[in-house]
Structure 1
Amino acid sequence: MTNFFTHKFRKKSPIEIVGIIIFGGIFITGLVILFGFIIMWLWNWLMPEIFGLPPLTYWQAVGLFILLKILIGGCGIGDSSKKPSKNSNDTCKTGTKTDFSKWKHYDKFWEEEGNKYYQQYIERQTNKEQEGTIDSE
Protein backbone atom coordinates (compact mmCIF):
# COMPACT_ATOMS: atom_id res chain seq x y z
CA MET A 1 0.00 0.00 0.00
CA THR A 2 2.90 2.33 0.72
CA ASN A 3 4.22 1.79 -2.81
CA PHE A 4 0.79 2.70 -4.19
CA PHE A 5 0.79 6.08 -2.44
CA THR A 6 4.44 6.63 -3.30
CA HIS A 7 3.61 5.97 -6.95
CA LYS A 8 0.53 8.22 -6.96
CA PHE A 9 2.23 11.16 -5.24
CA ARG A 10 5.67 10.78 -6.84
CA LYS A 11 5.65 14.03 -8.80
CA LYS A 12 3.39 16.06 -6.51
CA SER A 13 4.65 18.90 -4.35
CA PRO A 14 3.80 18.95 -0.62
CA ILE A 15 1.37 21.81 -1.27
CA GLU A 16 -0.49 19.70 -3.85
CA ILE A 17 -0.66 16.77 -1.44
CA VAL A 18 -2.06 18.97 1.36
CA GLY A 19 -4.55 20.41 -1.14
CA ILE A 20 -5.67 16.92 -2.13
CA ILE A 21 -6.15 15.97 1.53
CA ILE A 22 -8.11 19.15 2.29
CA PHE A 23 -10.26 18.71 -0.83
CA GLY A 24 -10.89 15.07 0.15
CA GLY A 25 -11.98 16.10 3.64
CA ILE A 26 -14.34 18.75 2.26
CA PHE A 27 -15.70 16.26 -0.30
CA ILE A 28 -16.37 13.60 2.36
CA THR A 29 -18.03 16.16 4.63
CA GLY A 30 -20.22 17.24 1.73
CA LEU A 31 -21.24 13.64 1.07
CA VAL A 32 -22.19 13.12 4.73
CA ILE A 33 -24.33 16.29 4.65
CA LEU A 34 -25.89 15.20 1.36
CA PHE A 35 -26.68 11.69 2.66
CA GLY A 36 -28.31 13.22 5.74
CA PHE A 37 -30.60 15.36 3.60
CA ILE A 38 -31.40 12.50 1.22
CA ILE A 39 -32.32 10.16 4.08
CA MET A 40 -34.40 12.89 5.75
CA TRP A 41 -36.20 13.69 2.49
CA LEU A 42 -36.92 10.04 1.62
CA TRP A 43 -38.06 9.23 5.15
CA ASN A 44 -40.34 12.27 5.40
CA TRP A 45 -41.73 11.58 1.94
CA LEU A 46 -42.45 7.86 2.42
CA MET A 47 -42.61 6.72 6.03
CA PRO A 48 -45.29 9.03 7.52
CA GLU A 49 -47.66 8.28 4.66
CA ILE A 50 -47.01 4.54 4.34
CA PHE A 51 -46.44 3.48 7.96
CA GLY A 52 -47.69 6.48 9.95
CA LEU A 53 -44.24 7.18 11.44
CA PRO A 54 -43.27 10.68 12.55
CA PRO A 55 -41.08 12.86 10.29
CA LEU A 56 -37.34 13.12 10.97
CA THR A 57 -35.17 16.14 11.56
CA TYR A 58 -31.83 16.46 9.77
CA TRP A 59 -29.82 15.27 12.81
CA GLN A 60 -32.15 12.30 13.34
CA ALA A 61 -31.57 11.34 9.70
CA VAL A 62 -27.77 11.58 10.14
CA GLY A 63 -28.06 9.49 13.32
CA LEU A 64 -30.16 6.93 11.47
CA PHE A 65 -27.55 6.78 8.69
CA ILE A 66 -24.75 6.20 11.24
CA LEU A 67 -26.83 3.60 13.10
CA LEU A 68 -27.57 1.70 9.89
CA LYS A 69 -23.90 1.87 8.87
CA ILE A 70 -22.94 0.35 12.23
CA LEU A 71 -25.65 -2.33 12.22
CA ILE A 72 -25.52 -3.35 8.57
CA GLY A 73 -21.91 -2.50 7.90
CA GLY A 74 -20.43 -1.96 4.52
CA CYS A 75 -17.25 -2.13 2.51
CA GLY A 76 -14.16 -1.83 4.67
CA ILE A 77 -16.04 -1.84 7.98
CA GLY A 78 -16.22 -4.73 10.33
CA ASP A 79 -13.88 -7.41 11.64
CA SER A 80 -10.68 -7.03 9.65
CA SER A 81 -9.30 -10.27 11.10
CA LYS A 82 -11.77 -12.34 9.10
CA LYS A 83 -10.21 -14.02 6.10
CA PRO A 84 -12.54 -14.10 3.09
CA SER A 85 -13.04 -17.60 1.80
CA LYS A 86 -12.05 -18.41 -1.78
CA ASN A 87 -15.67 -19.14 -2.65
CA SER A 88 -16.98 -16.00 -0.98
CA ASN A 89 -19.35 -13.77 -2.94
CA ASP A 90 -18.44 -10.73 -0.81
CA THR A 91 -17.98 -8.03 -3.45
CA CYS A 92 -16.44 -5.67 -0.91
CA LYS A 93 -13.49 -7.99 -0.40
CA THR A 94 -13.13 -9.38 -3.90
CA GLY A 95 -13.65 -8.03 -7.35
CA THR A 96 -14.58 -4.40 -6.78
CA LYS A 97 -11.55 -3.27 -4.82
CA THR A 98 -8.05 -3.15 -6.25
CA ASP A 99 -5.64 -5.66 -4.77
CA PHE A 100 -2.81 -3.45 -3.51
CA SER A 101 -0.75 -6.37 -2.22
CA LYS A 102 0.87 -6.66 -5.66
CA TRP A 103 2.21 -3.10 -5.49
CA LYS A 104 5.03 -4.21 -3.19
CA HIS A 105 6.72 -5.59 -6.33
CA TYR A 106 6.25 -2.42 -8.39
CA ASP A 107 9.49 -0.61 -7.52
CA LYS A 108 11.62 -3.71 -7.96
CA PHE A 109 9.97 -4.51 -11.32
CA TRP A 110 10.45 -0.97 -12.58
CA GLU A 111 14.12 -0.96 -11.60
CA GLU A 112 14.82 -4.34 -13.20
CA GLU A 113 12.55 -4.54 -16.24
CA GLY A 114 10.15 -1.63 -16.45
CA ASN A 115 12.40 0.89 -18.15
CA LYS A 116 13.30 -1.63 -20.87
CA TYR A 117 9.63 -2.41 -21.57
CA TYR A 118 8.77 1.28 -21.52
CA GLN A 119 11.44 2.01 -24.13
CA GLN A 120 10.12 -0.84 -26.31
CA TYR A 121 6.63 0.64 -26.03
CA ILE A 122 7.89 4.10 -27.03
CA GLU A 123 9.68 2.57 -30.05
CA ARG A 124 6.49 0.75 -31.13
CA GLN A 125 4.47 3.96 -30.84
CA THR A 126 7.07 5.91 -32.78
CA ASN A 127 7.08 3.25 -35.51
CA LYS A 128 3.27 3.34 -35.70
CA GLU A 129 3.33 7.12 -36.01
CA GLN A 130 5.96 6.95 -38.75
CA GLU A 131 4.01 4.29 -40.62
CA GLY A 132 0.90 6.43 -40.34
CA THR A 133 2.63 9.44 -41.85
CA ILE A 134 4.17 7.35 -44.68
CA ASP A 135 0.77 5.80 -45.55
CA SER A 136 -0.97 9.18 -45.64
CA GLU A 137 1.56 10.71 -48.09
Structure 2
Amino acid sequence: MDRKREIEKRVESNVEYYVKKIVKVIAMVILAGALFFLANYVLMRLWNWLMPDLFGLATITFWQALGILVMAKIIFGFGGGGGKSKGGSHQRRKHRSNHKCSSLRRDFDEWKHYDQFWKEEGEEAFKAYVAKIKNENHENS
Protein backbone atom coordinates (compact mmCIF):
# COMPACT_ATOMS: atom_id res chain seq x y z
CA MET A 1 0.00 0.00 0.00
CA ASP A 2 2.82 2.44 0.85
CA ARG A 3 4.52 1.69 -2.44
CA LYS A 4 1.33 2.53 -4.31
CA ARG A 5 0.93 5.89 -2.48
CA GLU A 6 4.57 6.73 -3.11
CA ILE A 7 4.12 6.11 -6.84
CA GLU A 8 0.90 8.15 -6.86
CA LYS A 9 2.64 11.07 -5.12
CA ARG A 10 5.55 10.91 -7.57
CA VAL A 11 3.17 10.86 -10.55
CA GLU A 12 1.14 13.68 -9.01
CA SER A 13 4.25 15.81 -8.46
CA ASN A 14 5.41 15.11 -12.04
CA VAL A 15 2.01 16.11 -13.42
CA GLU A 16 1.99 19.25 -11.25
CA TYR A 17 5.50 20.14 -12.47
CA TYR A 18 4.58 19.75 -16.15
CA VAL A 19 1.28 21.61 -15.76
CA LYS A 20 3.14 24.53 -14.17
CA LYS A 21 5.64 24.47 -17.04
CA ILE A 22 2.86 24.46 -19.64
CA VAL A 23 1.05 27.32 -17.89
CA LYS A 24 4.29 29.33 -17.78
CA VAL A 25 4.95 28.71 -21.48
CA ILE A 26 1.41 29.72 -22.41
CA ALA A 27 1.68 32.84 -20.24
CA MET A 28 5.00 33.75 -21.89
CA VAL A 29 3.53 33.29 -25.37
CA ILE A 30 0.55 35.49 -24.49
CA LEU A 31 2.83 38.12 -22.92
CA ALA A 32 5.16 38.10 -25.94
CA GLY A 33 2.18 38.48 -28.28
CA ALA A 34 0.75 41.30 -26.21
CA LEU A 35 4.11 43.11 -26.17
CA PHE A 36 4.45 42.64 -29.93
CA PHE A 37 1.01 44.12 -30.59
CA LEU A 38 1.68 46.92 -28.10
CA ALA A 39 4.94 47.78 -29.90
CA ASN A 40 3.07 47.75 -33.20
CA TYR A 41 0.39 50.05 -31.77
CA VAL A 42 3.05 52.44 -30.42
CA LEU A 43 4.72 52.46 -33.85
CA MET A 44 1.40 53.29 -35.51
CA ARG A 45 0.65 56.10 -33.03
CA LEU A 46 4.15 57.59 -33.38
CA TRP A 47 3.95 57.44 -37.16
CA ASN A 48 0.53 59.09 -37.23
CA TRP A 49 1.69 61.73 -34.76
CA LEU A 50 5.02 62.66 -36.39
CA MET A 51 5.19 61.71 -40.05
CA PRO A 52 2.19 63.63 -41.45
CA ASP A 53 3.29 66.89 -39.81
CA LEU A 54 7.04 66.52 -40.45
CA PHE A 55 7.14 64.98 -43.92
CA GLY A 56 3.58 65.28 -45.24
CA LEU A 57 3.07 61.50 -45.31
CA ALA A 58 -0.31 59.83 -44.90
CA THR A 59 -1.49 58.25 -41.68
CA ILE A 60 -1.35 54.47 -41.45
CA THR A 61 -3.51 51.71 -40.02
CA PHE A 62 -2.54 49.11 -37.45
CA TRP A 63 -1.87 46.51 -40.15
CA GLN A 64 0.24 48.90 -42.21
CA ALA A 65 2.29 49.61 -39.10
CA LEU A 66 2.71 45.85 -38.67
CA GLY A 67 4.01 45.66 -42.23
CA ILE A 68 6.47 48.48 -41.59
CA LEU A 69 7.65 46.78 -38.41
CA VAL A 70 8.18 43.44 -40.15
CA MET A 71 9.93 45.11 -43.08
CA ALA A 72 12.23 47.02 -40.73
CA LYS A 73 13.08 43.81 -38.88
CA ILE A 74 13.90 42.07 -42.16
CA ILE A 75 16.06 44.94 -43.39
CA PHE A 76 17.82 45.86 -40.15
CA GLY A 77 17.89 42.46 -38.44
CA PHE A 78 16.27 41.05 -35.39
CA GLY A 79 19.01 42.16 -32.97
CA GLY A 80 19.66 38.81 -31.30
CA GLY A 81 23.34 38.56 -32.05
CA GLY A 82 25.25 35.42 -32.69
CA GLY A 83 25.62 33.41 -29.50
CA LYS A 84 29.01 31.67 -29.41
CA SER A 85 30.52 33.63 -32.28
CA LYS A 86 29.88 36.78 -30.27
CA GLY A 87 32.31 35.60 -27.62
CA GLY A 88 35.03 35.21 -30.22
CA SER A 89 34.51 38.71 -31.53
CA HIS A 90 34.58 39.97 -27.94
CA GLN A 91 37.97 38.33 -27.49
CA ARG A 92 39.25 39.95 -30.69
CA ARG A 93 37.95 43.37 -29.61
CA LYS A 94 39.54 42.96 -26.20
CA HIS A 95 42.86 41.98 -27.78
CA ARG A 96 42.69 44.87 -30.24
CA SER A 97 41.90 47.40 -27.53
CA ASN A 98 44.77 46.17 -25.37
CA HIS A 99 47.28 46.76 -28.16
CA LYS A 100 45.73 49.85 -29.73
CA CYS A 101 47.71 52.44 -27.77
CA SER A 102 50.77 50.42 -26.89
CA SER A 103 53.16 53.21 -27.98
CA LEU A 104 51.34 55.69 -25.75
CA ARG A 105 51.24 53.26 -22.86
CA ARG A 106 55.00 52.78 -23.06
CA ASP A 107 55.47 56.53 -22.59
CA PHE A 108 53.01 56.57 -19.72
CA ASP A 109 55.63 55.08 -17.37
CA GLU A 110 57.63 58.28 -17.70
CA TRP A 111 54.81 60.30 -16.15
CA LYS A 112 55.56 58.88 -12.71
CA HIS A 113 58.46 61.35 -12.63
CA TYR A 114 56.27 64.36 -13.44
CA ASP A 115 55.63 65.49 -9.85
CA GLN A 116 59.30 65.38 -8.95
CA PHE A 117 60.22 67.30 -12.13
CA TRP A 118 57.62 69.97 -11.39
CA LYS A 119 58.94 70.42 -7.87
CA GLU A 120 62.57 70.74 -9.03
CA GLU A 121 62.42 72.51 -12.39
CA GLY A 122 58.88 72.86 -13.60
CA GLU A 123 57.69 75.88 -11.72
CA GLU A 124 60.77 77.93 -12.58
CA ALA A 125 60.67 76.75 -16.22
CA PHE A 126 56.98 77.63 -16.44
CA LYS A 127 57.54 81.11 -15.05
CA ALA A 128 60.37 81.64 -17.54
CA TYR A 129 58.13 80.45 -20.39
CA VAL A 130 55.32 82.81 -19.37
CA ALA A 131 57.76 85.71 -19.14
CA LYS A 132 59.13 84.87 -22.61
CA ILE A 133 55.62 84.82 -24.10
CA LYS A 134 54.75 88.13 -22.43
CA ASN A 135 57.92 89.71 -23.83
CA GLU A 136 57.17 88.38 -27.34
CA ASN A 137 53.61 89.68 -27.19
CA HIS A 138 54.80 93.03 -25.82
CA GLU A 139 57.38 93.35 -28.62
CA ASN A 140 54.80 92.47 -31.30
CA SER A 141 52.38 95.13 -30.03
- TM norm structure 1: 0.50
User: Whose RCO is larger (CA < 8 A, sep 6+)?
Assistant: 1
- TM norm structure 2: 0.48
Q: Which has the larger helix fraction?
A: 2
Larger radius of gyration: 2
